[in-house]
Structure 1
């Protein structure tokens, strides 16, 4: 059994599974609410990159697509470029469940290195998914980048 930390975040978004899937996998949309473009063809076994939007093409996070079941489930590995974490890369699962006019989006980030990385992930996911929710529901991300807000 893996005893490494994990983090689960659940949010409810007015929209369709297709809209949520598109927002998670379209490079232009991810740039709008995440500050990075998620770039891949989203096929199982393909690589993906979390690229800066400054035109540099620098990827701050990379991984592989482990599972791709549009518009229900997307699973990727998650690591820093060129890094081989001792316990292997972490894994992020996006579960998309429709319920009438809303969607429950569950993000599970597993195999985190330690509690400090879990806390960092928790803050990051809360900010990014709040911005995603705003974009899908209103057509615009939040007026300020939520991950820049000071803690406490």
Structure 2
């Protein structure tokens, strides 16, 4: 299982419009869970925003990927400094599973935590990627955001968000079917 969950492990299409990506993280599960539901901790690796841990609760995530690095990396042309997305909690089972809506086209993201000794396997499953461009952006995005989380939890260095995202988008373009 660990070969599918290292920092360099790529996400894979488990269905035509579903990306699954895994990371093995230092536990316990409650620690990783806090990085999913606590807005201040989530802001450090993914997006800011309050998330009431209750099925049906509405939320708004705010991405400011430039703030993930100090100093910030160079943002690709055409991408905004900030991105906002409204969503809803679909399912919650602390500290094992969180499922949220993603965007306005019916997509969802599931975060599943599975203890593996003193580590935790985090599986992110992003469903209903509407087109190839979305698939490439999301694949590179999840990969880099999870790299940021790994770096936060382990203290290991990583490449800047935007340079890594651009590199990974090209790599996913070669890896994922057209």
Alpha carbons 2:90, 2:101 under 8 Å: kept? yes
Which moves more between the two structures, 113-122 or 123-132? 113-122
Q: Deviations over 1:36-78 (max 9, x none)?
A: 3132112100012112568xxx761121100010000000001
Q: Deviations over 1:60-102 (max 9, x none)?
A: 11211000100000000011xxxx43xxx21000000001111
* Equivalence for 2:51: 40
Alpha carbons 1:5, 1:115 under 8 Å: kept? no
Aligned length: 137
Using the TM superposition, give the Cα deviation of residue 136 of structure 1 relative to its aligned residue in structure 2, in angstroms: 2.0
- Bigger relative contact order, structure 1 or 2 (CA pairs below 8 A, ≥6 apart): 1
Runs of 4 or more, structure 1, over 4 Å off, are 141-144
TM-score, with structure 1 as normaliser: 0.80
Unaligned runs of 5+ in 2: 1-14, 68-81, 171-178
Rounded to whole Å, the distance in 2 between the matches of 1:26 and 1:90 is 22
TM-score, with structure 2 as normaliser: 0.69
Unaligned runs of 5+ in 1: none
Alpha carbons 1:43, 1:68 under 8 Å: kept? yes
* Equivalence for 2:134: 117
Is it true that 1:30 corresponds to 2:47 in the alignment? Answer: no
SS in 2 for 1:104: strand
RMSD (Å) for aligned C-alpha atoms: 2.2
Which of 103, 111, 127 is 2:120 aligned to? Answer: 103
Alpha carbons 1:90, 1:112 under 8 Å: kept? yes
Q: Residues 49 and 142 of structure 1: is their aligned pair in 2 closer, same or farther, counting only changes over 3 Å? A: farther
- Name the structure with the higher strand share: 1
Is it true that 1:133 corresponds to 2:121 in the alignment? Answer: no
